Amino acid sequence: MSSTKLTPATNIPGISLANFSGGTLNLSERKNKDSWKLIVVYRGLHCPICANYLEKLHNLKNKLAELNVEAVAISADPLEKVKKQFEDYEPSFSVGYDLTIEQMEALGLYISSPRSPQETDRVFAEPGMFILNENDELHIIDISNAPFSRPDLDGVVDGIKFIRNPENKYPIRGTYN
């Protein structure tokens, strides 16, 4: 695997994916210049932990809106599986699909092969989270090699609220070299 480790305070790779709601989803673009962007990488339809995580993300739409944070979720699943993933509700966030192996590697994600054809029919990215600040910098990076280890979304929202409070003057962490 030739993944690249992303560095805090740099830009996310300019990756574009098909958007579930139509058009294109570019990871490095934000809807407005003052917003932050929360990018959640999920394993796919085959992962029940991901389904719960996406539902939690959906339910945080008001808190994220109050903080001016645009949320997106991305996976390697094709459109058919994304449709099935969201057949019970329309997500409050954009959903990018058909993430390629090269794009997974560019994001520094762990990549897994299916355990069996019953699990899924393609390689997929393990969970990841990237948070871009208003300067398009990677402010928070979290990647995992297993579905059981991922940030608590309530804690992430509280952390963004703390960081965005100008009184706290909280810097981007992990930049020592």
Q: 82-130 pLDDT, tens per residue?
A: 999 999 999 999 999 999 999 999 999 999 999 988 888 899 999 999 9
AA letter at 34: D
* The two three-digit tokens of residue 4, written as one number: 């690249």
Q: How far apart are CA 98 and CA 173, in angstroms?
A: 31
* The two three-digit tokens of residue 86, written as one number: 């969201």
CATH: 3.40.30.10, 3.40.50.720, 3.30.70.60, 3.40.50.2300. Which one for 34-164?
3.40.30.10
* The two three-digit tokens of residue 159, written as one number: 């952390």
SS3 annotation, 18-59: EECCCCEEECCCCCCCCCEEEEEECCCCCCHHHHHHHHHHHH
Q: How far apart are CA 104 and CA 6, in angstroms?
A: 12
- pLDDT per position as a tens digit, 147-175: 999 999 999 999 999 999 999 999 999 99
Cβ neighbours around 70 below 10 Å, total: 18
Confidence (pLDDT) at 3: 67
Give the list of residues 6+ apart from residue 38 with CB closer than 8 angstroms, or none.
Answer: 64, 69, 70, 71, 72, 129, 130, 131, 156, 160
Return the bridge partners of 19, or none.
96
- pLDDT per position as a tens digit, 48-57: 999 999 999 9
Confidence (pLDDT) at 79: 97
User: Within 13 Å, how many C-alpha atoms sit on residue 144's CB side?
Assistant: 14
